[in-house]
Copies of this chain bind each other. A is one copy, B any other.
Amino acid sequence: MQSTETLLSLYEQKFGNNNFSLNPSGLYEPVKHIMSMKGKKIRPLLLMMSSDLFGGNVEQALNPAFAMELFHNFTLVHDDIMDNADIRRGIPTVHKLFGINTGILAGDVMLAYAYKYLIDIPVQTIPEVLRIFNKTAIEIFEGQQMDMDFEKREDVSETEYLKMIEYKTSVLLACSLQIGALLAGANNANQKKIYDFGINLGLAFQIKDDYLDTFGESEKVGKRIGGDILQNKKTYLLISALHKAKGKQLNELRALLQHENEEEKIAGVKNLFNALGVKVDTEKRMDELYATARESLQSVDVKAEQKARLLKLAQDVHRRDF
């Protein structure tokens, strides 16, 4: 079993200098820009860890690992256009620097390169890997559409919200894990278990994101606390609150959504989240999701000590305060 550092260094050795210095430069400069941003490389790592978990050849997992990172970054480029986001990880977004047209086209070419790297694997594994990846890609686009639709709706249910974040976030983590398993020759039952681990880990991860945006500490999270509240963003917290609040509390919540003073709005909504039990409920939900993820992983049919690293990763996601 290889350490996370070894896996990352194998990955960086192979792709760290792949900076897309290609022509026409107008197309590839934006790709270079986003691919050279520092990131956690969580999807490549999951793919490599999963391959390693099932005794696979990690070298063979490198190309599809890079494909996951390319695909993820492609979605960021297009999502940033749709969300009209100017900054990502402290750096101007692609369309902000290069224009919307270039952002669209650079995203498109990254998607094609993702497919190119994805299929640079042993030939007999290509059809099944592609089937999983195509399904995932379609779900991610559907998730992004749901997200945009929800912003215009008042009556989003928790079930709908969970489906949306499953599609928008979880399925790519789960797909990365499943492809790693498949490449290592894991059977269908084990592929399903590691996929489910990824789904629940992703859900816990996304809800934690919502949670920290409201209940985190500014210095640790690295951004202003309460941003989602100010934007009336349909987070897990707000959706729960809109369902639990009745009568006076519901009126209060609705009034706060229109409230002009930023500090008062953040403090007021946080108070209501506490009063309605939304904070506690959310913590409970994350615990459940984490437990379900752990169970999936524990049921995978390999020696317990081989699961230690993925279990540690799940724990880190669960406990993080940043």
Binding site for B on A (CB under 8 A): 23-24, 26-27, 78, 81-82, 100-102, 104-105, 107-109, 111-113, 115-116, 119, 123, 126-127, 130-131, 134, 137-138, 141-142, 144-146, 148-149
A24-B149, A119-B130, A127-B126 given; A105·B144 CB < 8 A: yes
Contact B24 A101 (CB under 8 A): no
Min CB gap A113→B, angstroms: 7
Contact A112 B127 (CB under 8 A): no
Residues of B within 8 A of A126 (CB): 126-127, 130
Min CB gap A53→B, angstroms: 26
Q: Which of A107, A108, A109, A127 has the most CB of B within 10 A?
A: A108
Contact A24 B146 (CB under 8 A): yes
Q: List 14 A-B contacts (CB under 8 A).
A: A24-B146, A78-B105, A101-B148, A104-B107, A108-B108, A108-B141, A112-B137, A115-B115, A115-B130, A119-B127, A119-B130, A123-B127, A126-B127, A130-B130
Min CB gap A87→B, angstroms: 19
Min CB gap A237→B, angstroms: 23
Residues of B within 8 A of A24 (CB): 142, 145-146, 149
Residues of B within 8 A of A116 (CB): 134, 138
Task: Please report the C-alpha to C-alpha distance between residue A4 and residue B109 in the assembled complex, in whole angstroms.
Answer: 33
